[in-house]
Structure 1
Amino acid sequence: MTTFQQPTNVSNGYPRPDEQKDTVKSVYRQVAEEYDERIPGAGPSDDLFTRSERDFLIDSISSGEKVLDIGCGTGRFTVPMADKGAQVSGLDISRSMLEVAERKLHERGLSADLREGDMAHLPFPDASFDTVTSMLALMHIPLADRPAVFAEVQRVLRPGGRMLLGVKNSVFEEMFTGDRFASVDVTDVESKQLLFTNTRSGEEYVAPWYSFSPRDLTTLFATVGMTVTRLRGNSPIAVWLADEVLRDEGVRSFVGAAERFLAEVPPFNHFGYHLLVEAVKPAV
């Protein structure tokens, strides 16, 4: 198993940020070519989860919009945003993941400005983007880097711009520590790690992983002068139902409709398996 090691100089019990980032680079170099096979999982619960993600993000993007996708990986959302006509830039810490994204864009006759880099030091000028997006990537940020990342997001957004993000919900983890949907990429809540199992190489890989609560996100955005305008709980109902139940088309349709209704209604939105959030930078 490849894991991240505790160095002698740690802060708050965690490895140094630079060591955690090196681990993330190493892990994604190993799984880049198989990543799209690993996520999302297969089954009706995964389908509901993924549809909610895509509806939240892709339906919010317009042609001509200048978008920065941070932690873009293999382009799971970068590619469809470019396909909608957005002017997309993508940033990821892993060159191997970006190479997959570049190949997918080329195959579809699309283009995006893809760059290797660190979310805590975005290589873009102030007020460059209408929207910053990040789906399933912010959990790899070392805790010490969180304030810098959110400050960088605020910096590169134009006045009135917004961030759209998806993260795993630490409030949900207080109720259930297992992974409900994923079967190969599994979060170890207690150890703050993401485990990559059943890889093509036969090895298991481990990377740092820190979930967010609604309060975490509200505070981080408020600290940089941004306001949370939408907070959606992804899969607040389906997460508790077995796939055998959800395979019934009538049940799945009812659950999907109920989730669309309840997912942004307090307090249900605070208890989703993941959180989907929009935050806005002041216009002036």
Structure 2
Amino acid sequence: MSSQVSEKSEIAGADLNGSVAAAQKATVRSVYQQVAAEYDERIPGAGPADDMFTQAERDFIFSKVRPGQRVLDMGCGTGRFTVPMAALGAEVSGLDISRAMLDVLQEKLDKENLQASLNEGDMANLPFEDGSFDVVTSMLALMHIPVDDREKVFAEAARVLRPGGRMLIGVKNSLIEQFFQGDRFAAVDITDVESKELRFTQTRSGEEYVAPWYSFSPQDLNALFATAGMVVTHLRGNSTISAWLADEVLRDSGVAGTVRSLELKLSDVPPFNHLGYHLLVEAVKPAR
């Protein structure tokens, strides 16, 4: 009798978790449908710290993606990385939960006379065959995944990668949030650490939109990749120093140059790489 009660409780818990995850994904979809037309005006922010942050992302991705590779950009949004990867000559597929975001991306591709396959869908249930890609990328979008879906998403990424393929991601570092809960790069989109939400303020409609937002620790990422059968081969801290300096300080070219040089030297070195405001990670699916 007790085993039956336990089994029913587990089923009920699973159903509840599934309902919560579905509701959170519906919220994310709705928010990005609303802000798609203005999204590119909102990210990235303006200022030297933001510029350094964005350049670090680009350096990481484009040191690892090659022309001719089959790349899946998960949570591609309006194509912050999809477009330049297509311009590089990669064979890119973009996936996003919001059709409106994909429509903006398609306009950009058409304007640049570039090609990419765009797909509306859920990262926890990818519409691709096993071993379809050389590289899977996801920059910032993983923070919108419901916590209960994390293992599914990483498992799906591993499934669609060929043996020897790589996953490249950028996420906010929850380890840093233990020391500082403010949003260093806040402009109009503000992360609320305590509430685990991303708030879209000062929108064109005048409304404030809120979506779930969960950061990752280095330990979280190591566990998720290991569970998915992938091996972390590179963990880089993004904005290990610049995130803590005011833009007024970084506007001095000499200071900015020194900070950039130090970040380049320290961002790959333990334990400093674990102390980035964000984390840039490469993991490999072992070859059979």
Structure 1 residues 266 and 24: CA distance shift in structure 2, 3 A: same
Letter in 1 for 2:248: E
Partner residue of 2:162 out of 158, 164, 174: 158
* Deviations 1:53-82, CA, capped at 9 Å, x for gaps: 011012321110000000000000000000
Partner residue of 1:229 out of 215, 226, 233: 233
Structure of greater Rg: 2
Equivalences for residues 115-154 of structure 1 within 5 A: 115-154=119-158
After TM superposition, the runs of 4+ consecutive aligned structure 1 residues lying more than 3 A away are: 9-15
Shift of 1:12: 9.0
Which deviates more, 12-21 or 194-203? 12-21
Partner residue of 2:259 out of 237, 240, 255: 255
Structure 1 residues 221 and 19: CA distance shift in structure 2, 3 A: same
Shift of 1:182: 2.4
Distance 2:138 2:43 in 1: 15
For 1:51, what is the secondary structure of its paired residue? helix
The residue aligned with 1:274 is 278
Distance 1:58 1:114 in 2: 21
TM normalised by structure 2 equals 0.94
Two-structure CA RMSD over aligned residues (Å): 1.5
TM normalised by structure 1 equals 0.95
The residue aligned with 1:186 is 190
For 1:120, what is the secondary structure of its paired residue? coil
Distance 1:255 1:12 in 2: 47
Partner residue of 2:32 out of 7, 28, 34: 28
Q: Which has the higher helix share?
A: 2
Q: What runs of 5+ residues in structure 1 fail to find an aligned partner? A: 1-8
**How many pairs were matched up?**
276
CA contact (8 A) 2:173 2:217 kept: yes
CA contact (8 A) 1:40 1:182 kept: no
Distance 1:77 1:235 in 2: 19
Q: What runs of 5+ residues in structure 2 fail to find an aligned partner? A: 1-12
Equivalences for residues 1-284 of structure 1 within 5 A: 16-284=20-288
Shift of 1:31: 0.5
CA contact (8 A) 2:240 2:263 kept: yes
Letter in 1 for 2:164: G
For 1:170, what is the secondary structure of its paired residue? coil
Letter in 1 for 2:265: F
